Structure 1
């Protein structure tokens, strides 16, 4: 049966509109699909694997109960298309490790979309719980990634170390620190007046940021040639190996006496040793240093306020200000010592060896005592003579009008002001002659300076043999008749 003509016309119009709508819809759908970037299209191809910025993660010696810094791993999708990472997690459930995965603080994250040619960041840190081990121990795990049925992993290894922790500790009775585990100082350790702290050979002392060892009593560091005692910052990454100012230093207060440091290494503090004992007592030394290295100080290696200090076979180097600074007088001896500043950022207004007979402090009376200085078989040098600011490495201020007692023998001295002073021009001293160290730090790419004398050094064999001192800083024999000045005896190679 034929439809009425009007109905036929209406049906044709509806069909045409429907067809046009369908064509438009299909075109839009095609356009949307065709315009989707490749990097947003997810591939399920099992050959699509992730790549990583590192093949392993290592935390080198982390103290127990002390959080580490974070290590970073970049995860790359080198494919043109996106991938869905089904899971990122630790291989073993382990509370010691913490992950931050693409900004999410969690040890497992699922269904991460990583667009083509894109990357994401995974951070990992560790806080190792205490154990009964005295030596370092290993804690292992891995970060695993599951993508298109491919499981990939990055091994994580941590070396843990138990330690003795000292946090705002006050020592009120004679105490000995053993060397079986490291000692970690946070804030400060204070040795009370009349109390002795003895540190065994081989002990390792680590300081947190701005931490200090405060000695009102006595400190006796008993290192040996094969078991040296070390004092340094708690940061043990290679990046911090020679960064100064990581901790405050070792401070000897006015009541402190009978202090000695044998075979010690002090590095990367604000000051190495700070001694305050202004008096006229020159009979006994407040501080004796033997076969010790003080290096990489933000300010001074030894800062003294009228104290009496004796150093033998020791190296003080690379300090932001002076290697040795004695204010307000004091009695000082340096025998077979090397005081050498080769710091790149060395300040022009400072000198290697600086003394003054007067000490001025805010709200304190001015103290004035004479300077008594004896230097024998030593080297005082800065390493930079091209700038006139560096030409004088010995400074003596007599603001109180006292007469310093100066004695220099068989030493290499960098000085202009005292080039004609009777105490300097006598006694076989070498003035302003480069001692030619084998490899001072300014000449090295590696941070391992060598302050032994070169074979062509004008100072070789110029020291005066002292029967009571037969070893050098490394405990090697001094030549019995013609030893070398400075902390090290040159050996034939």
Structure 2
């Protein structure tokens, strides 16, 4: 018992001593706070859509415990910004205590309705400031965000609370997808405002979605565009003067505008051209950060391509950049970039012509077991059934097929149906370890391969940032044919030389950093 009494006495003495310390007597701050940043730039937000949460760290480097008389937004309760100070939400805080040599976090968010602002512009720079203290001791941290007005497209919700769905297929094969049909007055996307799509926007039968040069289309998670039977999509981008701004490109991407999301794959679904869709065209389009960039199902049986892709780029797809099944596709001066599986998968036969295209897969988000380009003429179903279709034609003229795997071009065929393919005047990475099927990969066999250069350096500008222009040291320089599959201009609008280069770009001299 004496031992326990002794311990209790020590604890009581310690508490008594601690309570008598004057270390925690807070004195008013004197304007000597320090901050992790003097200005916080919140990424662009769409009107009425909340931003991500940003943080500011506030330091008290002095030897005194201080009390900050007030922390507040300069615009007061009318501010479009929101704060959380030391775990408390609000816009104004009094007598905020901060120990000596300590720090605290302030979290900042914003939601802005552009119609509340005195502007007629479709985008507006909105600013405020966090004020610390008042009068001579006042310190400020500026807050700035760009607000964009937008056209929001989304499924309607009925009075009974049910949400709109669209149905693909019929009978036992019917599939319901969270989405909605575009009305006639929604079938022309202009460049006046960006478009933000929730769910799948469907182009109805016998209708055409036309997208003007410079348009910007943003998709929420699990969203995209579906083009129905006998419907079309026409993307009418144009060459841009500024390759960074891409002012005339049509850009499809996710709706997370923060810098941290600029290269995150799989942020949205796909542009799905369903069986029976027709006369689909993409010119000067950039499609990035999708699960599948373009999914093309079958074709309409026409002698002309069902899908034409020119001067376009598909980058950073979680699964496939282009996934086509029994399709009829013509593509020129286009780039099929990083993908978690395959940059271009031409499956279950079809007709494909790629002229002056660059296929480049330097996927860095994990192991990739598939090649940059994959061709096949059959599909094995889950029950083991084989479905096959003729690969009537798959021609790659003046192309680059490369990446960070050793085998970046692979074919998988069965003899029950036709397979016709050819690589002409192209640079290919094909560096197998061990034996491969010489029937398919005999590069001296002119039935399939003509003037193909293997495993030489394409000299891409910057594979880490999906820049696939080629330098003056590229093995693709002068490799292209001037007749077969030749294009007059490259993807940037530059005129090709009399000895043109393979791939989407004519070579250039890169500026040194």
Cα offsets for 1:376-413 (capped at 9, x unmatched): 0101112x3xxxxx332222222462221112211112
Is this contact kept in 1: 2:130–2:141, CA < 8 A? yes
Once the 2 structures are TM-superposed, how far is the Cα of residue 120 of structure 1 from its aligned partner?
A: 1.8
CA distance, structure 2, for counterparts of residue 246 and residue 102 of structure 1: 32
CA distance, structure 2, for counterparts of residue 455 and residue 264 of structure 1: 26
Is this contact kept in 1: 2:355–2:486, CA < 8 A? no
- 1:76 maps to 59
- 2:80 maps to 96
CA distance, structure 1, for counterparts of residue 377 and residue 351 of structure 2: 11
CA distance, structure 1, for counterparts of residue 502 and residue 101 of structure 2: 63
Cα offsets for 1:310-339 (capped at 9, x unmatched): 110001111111111122111111100000
Partner of 2:260: helix, strand, or coil? helix
The TM-score, its normalising length taken from structure 1, stands at 0.85
Task: State whether structure 2 residue 238 is matched by structure 1 residue 224.
Answer: yes
Partner of 2:266: helix, strand, or coil? coil
Inter-CA distance 186–348: structure 2 relative to 1 (3 Å threshold): closer
Partner of 1:307: helix, strand, or coil? strand
- 1:387 maps to none
Task: State whether structure 2 residue 410 is matched by structure 1 residue 395.
Answer: yes
Inter-CA distance 460–85: structure 2 relative to 1 (3 Å threshold): same
Output aligned runs, 1:281-430, within 5 Å.
281=301, 283-345=303-365, 347-361=367-381, 367-371=387-391, 372-382=393-403, 384=404, 390-399=405-414, 401-415=416-430, 417=436, 418-421=440-443, 422-423=445-446, 426-430=449-453
Inter-CA distance 130–69: structure 2 relative to 1 (3 Å threshold): same
Is this contact kept in 2: 1:278–1:329, CA < 8 A? no
Partner of 1:318: helix, strand, or coil? coil
Q: Alignment partner for residue 34 of structure 2, among 51, 57, 75?
A: 51
Task: State whether structure 2 residue 508 is matched by structure 1 residue 491.
Answer: yes
Inter-CA distance 33–134: structure 2 relative to 1 (3 Å threshold): closer
Q: Alignment partner for residue 60 of structure 1, among 43, 47, 61?
A: 43
Once the 2 structures are TM-superposed, how far is the Cα of residue 436 of structure 1 from its aligned partner?
A: 2.6
Bigger Rg, which one: 1
Cα-Cα RMSD: 2.5
- 2:278 maps to 257
Once the 2 structures are TM-superposed, how far is the Cα of residue 134 of structure 1 from its aligned partner?
A: 4.0
Partner of 2:59: helix, strand, or coil? strand
Inter-CA distance 365–165: structure 2 relative to 1 (3 Å threshold): farther
Cα offsets for 1:251-299 (capped at 9, x unmatched): 11112111000001111111110111167x3612111100001111111
CA distance, structure 2, for counterparts of residue 199 and residue 134 of structure 1: 22
CA distance, structure 2, for counterparts of residue 312 and residue 127 of structure 1: 42
- Aligned residue pair count: 448
Q: Alignment partner for residue 247 of structure 1, among 268, 272, 279?
A: 268
- 1:170 maps to 181
Is this contact kept in 1: 2:272–2:295, CA < 8 A? yes
- 2:21 maps to 36
CA distance, structure 1, for counterparts of residue 415 and residue 154 of structure 2: 42
- 2:463 maps to 441
Task: State whether structure 2 residue 490 is matched by structure 1 residue 472.
Answer: yes
Once the 2 structures are TM-superposed, how far is the Cα of residue 425 of structure 1 from its aligned partner?
A: 6.6
Which of 73-82 and 46-55 deviates more?
46-55
